[in-house]
Structure 1
């Protein structure tokens, strides 16, 4: 949990679960997996459960943290909260009852806005009708290449007040994005020692599609060795649009 976040499109992070498994190319250089290994070595109790070395790693086994459920109640000032920056709430090993508990917390703290992001859109769609969807929950899916447009189609079926796409790390051009029913798009390049470069035209095309569809567009970063390496300007300006906000 962090009461402040360096992620440009949120204000705080909340991790009622930790750990995950890589499922697609966008996961290849997962920052959370690397961070979990370091946190395990430092003795952090939340990161002592190891994952499958083929898809996960030290300290990154999927683990639920019931004690973390109380954290949002302690935040009196309204915050935009990224849920599970170190996990995926819709991972198959997160029990349905625990997902419901997370949604209960979000419903009971309506002064916060929660951003939930998943790569497991098929499970999301299967269980969405079993969840109550408060209006302060934004639901998103990661889309790093056209191979994962199915995640967008699944997301469109979910009764969230705001549906969004995270096109980061962007690994390919995303032509003809199905933006009907999508309320927000984030795009960005990869960062880290092994960062794969992003073509500026890929970013421009996503922006232009969003402008035509009147969908808010947020450009997070060009990426590089660090997240700040290339800056955030696109054609001489920053793009910080969010649902209901100018940018």
Structure 2
């Protein structure tokens, strides 16, 4: 659970310089990360309490293959108890490894805005916020204030209909909840977000319907797999291909 390849469809691997968190909104109710700490308790001696893992900060320096890296799948990098010095060290490593794309998600939008000006937003850092229902759409306004190359939304678990202003947003992920106590996602909620993305010319990624297991409901929406990525991803891949070509030619 530290840093590993993953089955999450929109990324390639995870990197967890911190683990543990606490619940801040309804999307946290059935937190998969908390469940994993209980299931694999031997790997998490502090349980789901926030824990800094300084020994993991430099791990990406050893990863040569260009990858999309989900930062802190087991925590929230912008948790209030993460020191700014620790955050800067994480951002510094991301800047030293431009071959990778780093995908960061937070529900702590206010703290994100508070710290954003103190951090160096390298072009390979994508910043996102979670928006599970209409009560938390204001997180998007906070995200717009962050100078990230890509700003994205994770609407998972999607718990209600959303009416979004997608100005200056580059990517939206939608997914239903999974697990024994999953809360079903309605078809029209997912369709509405897809249609809003199309109106704003924003990449739309449909991750899953959810159910008792993540793959129980499949991934098709209206008979199609939606795996759209932001334009910056294609640009990044093309740039890396050119670098590789120059090295071998």
Q: Fold match, TM over 0.5? A: yes
Matches within 5 A, 1:46-85: 47-49=44-46, 59-85=47-73
For 1:144, the equivalent position in structure 2 comes to: 132
> How far, CA to CA, are the matches of 2:120 and 2:69 in structure 1?
18
For 2:115, the equivalent position in structure 1 comes to: 127
> How far, CA to CA, are the matches of 1:125 and 1:107 in structure 2?
20
Matches within 5 A, 1:143-222: 143-175=131-163, 177-222=164-209
> How far, CA to CA, are the matches of 1:221 and 1:211 in structure 2?
19
SS at match of 2:95: helix
For 1:12, the equivalent position in structure 2 comes to: 13
Deviation at 1:125, TM superposition (A): 0.2
User: Mean Cα displacement is larger for which, 1-10 or 161-170?
Assistant: 1-10
> How far, CA to CA, are the matches of 1:229 and 1:37 in structure 2?
23
> How far, CA to CA, are the matches of 1:2 and 1:66 in structure 2?
13
Q: Deviations over 1:24-50 (max 9, x none)?
A: 00000000001011222xx22xx111x
> How far, CA to CA, are the matches of 1:4 and 1:96 in structure 2?
27
> How far, CA to CA, are the matches of 2:3 and 2:141 in structure 1?
32
For 1:106, the equivalent position in structure 2 comes to: 94
For 1:115, the equivalent position in structure 2 comes to: 103
> How far, CA to CA, are the matches of 1:123 and 1:160 in structure 2?
15
Query: What is the TM-score when the length of structure 1 is the normalising length?
Result: 0.92
Consecutive unaligned residues of structure 2, counting only runs of 5 or more, are 235-249
> How far, CA to CA, are the matches of 1:193 and 1:168 in structure 2?
16
> How far, CA to CA, are the matches of 1:202 and 1:221 in structure 2?
13
**Count of residue pairs brought into register by the alignment:** 232
SS at match of 2:199: helix
Q: Deviations over 1:167-200 (max 9, x none)?
A: 000000002x010010000001000000000000
> How far, CA to CA, are the matches of 1:237 and 1:152 in structure 2?
27
Given the alignment, which residue of 92, 100, 105 partners 2:80? Answer: 92
Query: What is the TM-score when the length of structure 2 is the normalising length?
Result: 0.92
Q: Deviations over 1:38-89 (max 9, x none)?
A: 222xx22xx111xxxxxxxxx1000100100121011111010000000000
Consecutive unaligned residues of structure 1, counting only runs of 5 or more, are 50-58
> How far, CA to CA, are the matches of 1:218 and 1:94 in structure 2?
30
